[in-house]
Amino acid sequence: MSGKERLLVRGAQGDLLRLVATGHAESRAQLARVSGLAASSVSLRVEELIDTGLLVEEGSGTSSGGRRPRRLRVSPAAGLLAVADLGAHHARLGLLDLSGVPLVVEERACDIALGPEATLDWMAAAFDDLLATHGPAGVPLRGVGTGVPGPVDPGSGRVVSPSRMPGWNNFPVAEHLGAHYDLPVLVENDANLLAVGEARSWPGFDNLMVLKAGSGIGCGVIVDGRLHRGRGAAGDISHVRVRTDSSTTMCSCGHPDCLEAYASGAALMDALSGLGIATRRPSDVVALVEDGVPEATALVRNAGRLIGEVLTVLVNFINPDAIVVGGSLSTAEPLISAIRAAVYERCLPLATRDLEISVTRGGPDAALLGAGSLLLDAVLS
Ligand SMILES: [Zn+2]
């Protein structure tokens, strides 16, 4: 079983450790170049980081061309990060090392409708279980992070006015987890985590809009390679009003005709239920589409059109390099085609000239890797 311990590194030391952990530098010379610090200053701090066991140096042998530069990396014993991506009915949980490499990832069933205290205590027990089973002896836990399917105030780590999280409004998630662990805690909107994790799979694409289409609809925005949070609500497109031909549908926020009320997985499941077709989760909707059930295909296509029309405004405004679609509905082909059709038809030619619209590349752990990346920042700050 691993213990827990705050990572104590001073300013520039933390910056150098972060550069090595994130793969931006692996030698003293690269660290000096990337950080802008003097070579002597880098050497001194690297020696301190090696002495305290946080960095290790390897590959100091010689090659035919002379002495090979030694390679710095974060010690596997430097610490662990416990991260989760909380969904409506299941959570993905993992332990990462400080370089963001997963030691273990598991998906477990849970129910956020049980409320924040029960859910977060369940999460802490699940983390303890993973640490007891998979945590290497003597390697301390350094931080805890979770994504939640709702808006998060970045200053306080509270969930604010979430749509499908009864009892969570204004709950101090970060404070609750922090009281349990006494370690740095990250609480972030799930689409933002997906965006940060997904950006690792899009080298050369510095401006991304990463849509998460699952039970809800969210969007994470990467600008110049970094997550754009705004004041916390950036990318939250769920309550944008959409144009519909049918009569008004009330959204859980109390306003009529929000995007979420038509195009979220939850809305599609409700609509199918009204047609006498039972589903238990958004992936069931995808399965119905793949089975050629026309009601499901029509609803998903309409959802894609509505999402695409909202994205049209955003593409003209932000002009991203790519729109990346993730979440459990993203594998429904009619959803992506309808989004593409709307965006290519309605956006400015200059905005769509080199625009990629694609499903996620980062794999099922992308959000956890994003959580690890942001949590490392919190641990080192
Ligand atoms: Zn709404």
**Rounded to whole angstroms, how far apart are CA atoms 109 and 13?**
40
Kindly report, residue by residue over 62-86, the tens digit of the pLDDT: 455 666 668 999 999 999 999 999 9
Lowest mean pLDDT among 95-99, 160-164, 325-329: 160-164
Residue 104, CA distances (Å) to 22, 25, 199, 270 in order: 19, 26, 22, 35
pLDDT at 309: 95
pTM: 0.93
Cα torsion angle, 281, 286, 291, 294, sign: positive
Give the three-state DSSP class for 310.
helix
Distance 250 CA to ligand 1 centre (A): 8
Distance 241 CA to ligand 1 centre (A): 8
> Residue 42: CA atoms inside 13 Å, Cβ hemisphere, count?
21
Distance 260 CA to ligand 1 centre (A): 6
Mean pLDDT over 184-189 rounds to 96
Distance 181 CA to ligand 1 centre (A): 35
Distance 151 CA to ligand 1 centre (A): 13
**Rounded to whole angstroms, how far apart are CA atoms 317 and 307?**
16
Distance 39 CA to ligand 1 centre (A): 54
For the chain, what percent of residues have pLDDT higher than 70? 96
Distance 285 CA to ligand 1 centre (A): 22
Q: How far is Cα of residue 54 from the mean position of the Cα atoms in its chain?
A: 26
Residue 19, CA distances (Å) to 13, 106, 154, 229, 308 in order: 10, 28, 24, 22, 37
Q: 42 is written with which tokens?
A: 């880098």
How many CB atoms sit inside 10 A of residue 221's CB? 21
Distance 270 CA to ligand 1 centre (A): 16
DSSP letters spanning 18-35? HHHHTTS--SHHHHHHHH
How many CB atoms sit inside 10 A of residue 290's CB? 13
Round the average pLDDT of the chain to a whole number and report it. Answer: 93
**Rounded to whole angstroms, how far apart are CA atoms 179 and 31?**
36
Q: How far is Cα of residue 210 from the mean position of the Cα atoms in its chain?
A: 10
Distance 251 CA to ligand 1 centre (A): 4
Distance 226 CA to ligand 1 centre (A): 27
pLDDT of 61 higher than 50: no
Mean pLDDT over 23-38 rounds to 94
Kindly report, residue by residue over 340-380, the tens digit of the pLDDT: 999 999 998 989 999 999 999 999 999 999 999 999 999 99
pLDDT bucket at 163, cuts 50 / 70 / 90: confident
Q: Are 263 and 217 spatial neighbours (Cβ–Cβ below 8 Å)?
A: yes
